[in-house]
Structure 1
Amino acid sequence: TGLARTFRWGGHSIWPDAPLSVAQHALFVLALAEQAPGKPLDPARRLRELLHDADEGLVNFDCISPLKPFLGPGFAALQARLTAVIAIRYRLPPWTDAEKRAHKRRDVIAAASEAVHVAGWSTAEVREALGIRAPILEEDPLAALHGEEPWRPWPPERAAARFLLKLRALGA
């Protein structure tokens, strides 16, 4: 999968030769959704969580949020079109406002946690430079699920295999 070879944080990582893939990030966000209190998400909504950044795999580029406005309306239109195509291909339900807010919160918690544990930012830098106020998790939700060293990015082959396994398990 292209998401396993598309890297977060511009490929920067405190782990030698181990950048964090968008595929691993997607599984992280899905794990947060699956662990959230309340009514469990149905398979279609879990699939939507898993594929929330799938457009990035099609262009092999994970653009950090502060950069997006500088790329202009053409880039925004491309992202919107790719997202729409993915939604059609996988028959994803549209987000309700409440679902989108909950997803965005999980995505930002993941970003804050990745910034510290993978990209090497300090908590102060996450708060001040990135403007992220979300909690920074100490416990990696994927480590226990997969028996991995907490926060260590997976090799692309492992990230792809785990992503595709989850994709198939959700009926895609």
Structure 2
Amino acid sequence: MSGRAAAPARAWIRLPSGRRLDLLAPTPLDWTDEDLAIGLSRTFRWGGHSIWPGAPLSVAQHSLAVMALRRRARPAPGPGELLRELLHDAEEGLVNFDCISPLKPFLGPGFLALQDRLAAVVAQRYGLRAWEVEAHKRHKRLDVAMAAAEAVHVAGWSRAEVRDTLGIRAAVMEADPLVAEHGGTPWQPWPPEQAAARFLAALRRLLPPEAGALSRPAGPTTNPA
């Protein structure tokens, strides 16, 4: 035995900006807004499967769709609630993995703790309030409704399968909530570059000035060697 202390656990990733993030010990200044947008645009829902040619559906596009549904719902949301909707899956863009829900229990408590840790630094970074009970219920209804629609229009499940196989009870909406603002073919997944640009634009519109100053620090890296 050498007597040397074991090195601390770490899981570094290099981000597009050149910054690096230790997934096991993240801080709120470890990524840029662009890093987050790119990460979410390259993280795919439904296990990366799609009936559309080209790119699968990104978490960035899904997040914008859920936010669009909330914008139309009542009571009318303020910018802070819309920002919380936009960033409800933001930690997935940092770890670059959207695990389908039935699989999560098999990944164990360590993975759930990792998700919670990343979600906490996202909330700190962008000044997100904890979900109030009724607000979270509204969010879950919209998120599940979006999942039901994606299952049919993107992943190729039948409506009966959505109900009987996937266990999703929400009605399958026909109208793509993103078409009114962005145009294009309903339900078609966007290319990652387009999804990233649209997510980033929405994020910057919603950020309060103090969060904007925090979210775009000047230096190329923040983690020590």
Q: Which residue number corresponds to residue 56 of structure 2?
A: 19
Query: Is 1:52 matched up with 2:80?
Result: no
Out of 117, 120, 142, which is 1:84 matched to?
120
TM-score of the aligned structures, taking structure 2 as reference length: 0.75
Aligned partners of 1:63 and 1:128: how far apart in 2? Answer: 21
Kindly indicate whether the alpha-carbon contact (under 8 Å) linking 2:149 and 2:174 is maintained by their aligned counterparts in 1.
yes
Q: CA deviation at 1:129?
A: 1.2
Q: Which residue number corresponds to residue 185 of structure 2?
A: 149
Aligned partners of 1:114 and 1:105: how far apart in 2? Answer: 14
Kindly indicate whether the alpha-carbon contact (under 8 Å) linking 2:56 and 2:189 is maintained by their aligned counterparts in 1.
yes
Structure showing greater Rg: 2
Aligned partners of 1:99 and 1:71: how far apart in 2? Answer: 28
Residues 43-89 of structure 1: CA deviation (Å, up to 9, x unaligned): 11110100000010011100111111111111111111111110000
Query: Is 1:116 matched up with 2:166?
Result: no
Aligned partners of 1:68 and 1:128: how far apart in 2? Answer: 20
Unaligned runs of 5+ in 2: 1-37, 213-225
Tell me how large the CA RMSD over aligned residues is.
Answer: 0.8
Q: CA deviation at 1:39?
A: 2.5
Q: Which residue number corresponds to residue 19 of structure 2?
A: none
SS class of match (1:99): helix
- Report which of the two has the higher share of helix: 1
Percent identity for Structure 1 against Structure 2: 68
Kindly indicate whether the alpha-carbon contact (under 8 Å) linking 2:54 and 2:191 is maintained by their aligned counterparts in 1.
no
Task: List 4+ stretches of structure 1 deviating above 3 A.
Answer: none
Unaligned runs of 5+ in 1: none
Q: Which residue number corresponds to residue 28 of structure 1?
A: 65
Q: Which residue number corresponds to residue 9 of structure 1?
A: 46
Q: CA deviation at 1:18?
A: 2.5
Out of 46, 63, 74, which is 2:99 matched to?
63
Amino acid corresponding to residue 139 of structure 1 in structure 2: A
